Structure 1
Amino acid sequence: METNHPSQGDALVEEIHPVDQIRPVGKLFMFAIQHILVMVAAPVSSVFLIAKALNLSEALSSALLSSVFVFCGLGSILQSVGIGKIGVRLPFIMLPGGAATILFISIAQGTDLQTAAGAVILTGIFYLLAVTLFVRILKYFPPLVIGTMVLVIGISLVRITGFLFTGRPGTEHFGDPMQLLLALVTIVLTVLCFRFLRGFLRQLAVAFGLVGGTLFAMVLGETNFTALIAGPVISTPTLFPFGMPHLDLVAAIPMLVWSLASMAEATGQTVINGEIVGREVDPTRDVPRVIRSDGIISIIGGLFGTPVMVTSGENIGIVRASGVRSRYVTAVAGVLLIVIGFTPMARMLNGIPPAVVGGTAVVVFAIISVLGIQMLARVDFTQTGNLVTCTLALALGLLPVLIPGMYHSLPANIQTIFGSGVAMSALVAVLLNLLFNHCGNNRQSGSTPKPDESPQARPANYRI
């Protein structure tokens, strides 16, 4: 007579956390492609900006694009799989930092490309050296601070990617109806896929929306992949593409200052990623693993001419939207990114219309904002200090997002901090949280526990 008791093998399978589960190869491949389709605009646009701003040759631009894709892949594998205390073992994708790309261009224009590459290497070294000190202040990043930062991160990303289909205000093509139509069609297709597809297909809704938007653009004659095939069959990263890097500490200061904000952002992304996948995150253990990976990949990438590489919050929204929590999905995405870096596929992906990418990204990044709201919902806002902290952190964090360039008259290093919405929200939230919750007699009192000490207010997988 058969029994319904689970076998020992079944019990072992049940004990495997969803983050550590290896999906069937076919599904891993499809989910990995979805991650790539969402993130592909970042490396392509990063290289495009550098090439145009610094007048790079076509051959040098091609080599740089290859390097960026390869190191995106290596970084994604390192974060997803991990080696010892390097890599957080969560589903993360690595990208060239947007602000880091602008700083790279700025340093190169003020000095030369060798100094800009040296600044990237110095920043990577700074990550490795500063992380020990940074860990000591993580106790001042409770859910009140993290939730506020994540909300600002999401809103900032929505604004940045929105420009992909609206264009920049004041430019000739700002508000082009065709680009708005492409973004709208992409968003509608994504929503319809979420609504009517089921199971495995629903988990690929974001990818289907992007592919559908691209096909719609092809029908309207807004994109053509044929011309992008021309070029070298094999692309390879080039060591020292600009010559031997020049390590100039003074020239690297703006990038080093920015890296502090980057570490704060990595803290929020790590916590919210752990929240999404249901794995307990210990910031003092896991955040350094993220930052070390960023540092190592940036150091090596700097030798091949890339800007600073950072672990991206962009793909966190994909994990939440698809419900696929396996870190091996992003590890496979990393492998595919390396393959793309050596083939013409990198050029061909550039054929996806920016408006379509923007429509997809707006959906994904808005999810990140909602996750920040969800975390803040656990905070006790009947406490005046918590209310004031969140209010001012949001206000001062969103001002540079809503009014770009408002600090243009300040010194460059101060602009780097004040001009970053994420950095400002983190700075204000940490300082006010210290004032209200950690400073002697000024600590909040009352019958309601403080949100950073209450089990109800703290995320189930967050501990300090």
Structure 2
Amino acid sequence: MSTQRQTTTGTEAAPAPEPVHPVDQSRPLGRILLFGVQHVLVMAATPISAIFLMSATLGLDSDLTVELLSAAFLLSGVGSLIQSLGPWKFGPRLPFVMLPGGAPLILFLAIADQHGLPTATGAVILTAAFYFVVLPVFSRLLAFFPPLVIGTMIVIVGINLVKVGAVLVTGRPGQPGFADTTALALGLATIGFTVAFYLLFTGVLRQLAVMLGLLAGTALAAVLGAVDFGGATEGGLLNLPQPLPFGAPEFSLLAAVPLMLYSLASMAEATGQTVINAQAVGKEIDQRADVPKTIRGDAVTSLFGGFFGLPLMVTSGENIGIVRVTGVRSRYVTAAAGVVLILIGFLAPVARAISVIPSAVIGGTAMVVFAVITVLGVQMLGRSELDKHTNTFVCAVALALGLLPILVPGVYAGFPPNLRILLESGVAVGAFTAAVLNILFHHVRPALATRTAGPRTESDR
């Protein structure tokens, strides 16, 4: 009798296939597109507002503005595909979308004002290349970014983003229209709609609560006469972004220094977003392998974006909140969002239709989504042994210094410009503080203690 195990048909039983992780699961095409559109609606205000700010600040004509808006959607889509699908060593294969960054946009405008638009474009291209030069060194430092450091950084990121969403609702203090009652009502109503849909619906409709809340808020705004449909009916059918809209780039290392300094903070932020995204979808990652993939995705997208006149492109934290709220973890959803963004980049009427959504409505939606990111950071800190006095101290000091420029804007206005770039990034300051204190208390101090007397007491931990 053969000792080989056989089935009733006389053949060896095949091993059961390993289950596919939810982040790698595909879904019916209709659902994937629907969930992808939800991501697009929540994040679309960022490229629109970025390009409109850029146009107004630099005095660009309407045709060039349309071309830049088209390029912003196109590159956001390409970047989202890279981060979600992860070709070769680019992109962590997590549900990410990409956007033109807020802080990089301000730096881009400052360089353009001082040195001209061709030099600003060259600075973006130089900084994208700088990512690749610095990345090997940065990846070796990731061992000093444990959950205590990452969690602290994510809390700061979330709080900063909630503030960004709130400003979309209220406007900026001291400017005309600040805290307009209609805008406040729309923002709060949008949050209320989102909560109601999440409470009353189940299944797919519940997963779409964010998008449904945004659409309901837009409908209410239309009823109140707060939607301007004028721009939605103007212009042609197609947008074709043109490369080098400002002419041939000019390269100046000195002019690019502010963006290069920011890129260090951007890499730290990409580290936190990669880790928290992986936790949101329940996937274990190798930090030293996957974080550099996210940064490479940022770098290559920014490189192409520079040739189309755009500021640095960065991974967005918005979609992480959507993933957690909806429970839809598939990276193919954000890949679908990338395809939709590319189509929007070419279809002018779609971009114009999205642009009529009032900022207060988008702000109300964003506040909910961004607050979820803050909660994810708190959850990570909850697994960081905060009952130990040392960890509590590290977290407290990092939060204090990281939140200072967010809660008190302009606090570092008297410092030299290049230093101010880093100090005014609460995320960079918080991450740097947490990392340095973590090294001092958990690496340097124990090493010194072993050379001196006696074991540590509980109060030393």
Distance 1:113 1:148 in 2: 37
| Deviations, residues 311-350 of structure 1 (Å, cap 9, x unaligned) | 1111100000000000000001000100000112112211
Q: Does 1:386 pair with 2:386?
A: no
| Deviations, residues 403-439 of structure 1 (Å, cap 9, x unaligned) | 0110011011111111011011001101110110010
Distance 1:82 1:367 in 2: 25
Shift of 1:233: 1.3
Distance 1:380 1:210 in 2: 38
Structure 2 CA distance for partners of 1:320 and 1:448, relative to 1, 3 Å: farther
Name 2:37's counterpart in structure 1: 33
Distance 1:31 1:9 in 2: 36
Could you tell me which amino acid in structure 2 is paired with residue 59 of structure 1? Answer: D
2:166 to 162, 166, 189: 162
TM-score by length of 1: 0.93
Output aligned runs, 1:222-301, within 5 Å: 222-301=226-305
Name 1:220's counterpart in structure 2: 224
Could you tell me which amino acid in structure 2 is paired with residue 441 of structure 1? Answer: L
Deviates more, 1:207-216 or 1:342-351: 342-351
Q: Does 1:176 pair with 2:183?
A: no
1:23 to 21, 27, 34: 27
Could you tell me which amino acid in structure 2 is paired with residue 351 of structure 1? Answer: V
1:53 to 54, 57, 60: 57
Name 1:200's counterpart in structure 2: 204
Shift of 1:172: 1.8
Secondary structure, aligned partner of 1:423: helix
Name 1:309's counterpart in structure 2: 313
Shift of 1:232: 2.2
Shift of 1:442: 5.3
Q: Does 1:96 pair with 2:104?
A: no
Output aligned runs, 1:111-150, within 5 Å: 111-150=115-154
Distance 1:49 1:38 in 2: 19
Name 2:380's counterpart in structure 1: 375
Shift of 1:10: 12
Distance 1:104 1:218 in 2: 35
Shift of 1:449: 12
Deviates more, 1:142-151 or 1:223-232: 223-232
The structure with more radius of gyration: 2
Distance 2:47 2:458 in 1: 51
TM-score by length of 2: 0.93
Gaps of 5+ in 1: 1-7, 451-464
Shift of 1:384: 2.4
Structure 2 CA distance for partners of 1:442 and 1:141, relative to 1, 3 Å: farther
Distance 1:40 1:369 in 2: 21
Distance 1:170 1:246 in 2: 37
Distance 2:78 2:16 in 1: 34
Distance 1:75 1:223 in 2: 30
Could you tell me which amino acid in structure 1 is paired with residue 310 of structure 2? Answer: T
Could you tell me which amino acid in structure 1 is paired with residue 334 of structure 2? Answer: T
Shift of 1:446: 5.2
Name 1:328's counterpart in structure 2: 332
Distance 1:240 1:195 in 2: 49
Shift of 1:227: 3.6
Gaps of 5+ in 2: 1-12
Structure 2 CA distance for partners of 1:9 and 1:364, relative to 1, 3 Å: farther
Contact 2:122 2:306 in 1 (8 A): yes
Shift of 1:355: 0.1
Distance 2:457 2:252 in 1: 53
Distance 1:99 1:142 in 2: 26
C-alpha RMSD over aligned residues: 1.8
Contact 2:231 2:352 in 1 (8 A): no
Structure 2 CA distance for partners of 1:383 and 1:38, relative to 1, 3 Å: same
Name 1:153's counterpart in structure 2: 157
Contact 1:397 1:425 in 2 (8 A): yes
2:400 to 376, 379, 395: 395
Contact 1:436 1:442 in 2 (8 A): no
Could you tell me which amino acid in structure 2 is paired with residue 415 of structure 1? Answer: R
Secondary structure, aligned partner of 1:281: coil
Secondary structure, aligned partner of 1:95: strand
Shift of 1:265: 0.3
Contact 1:435 1:442 in 2 (8 A): no
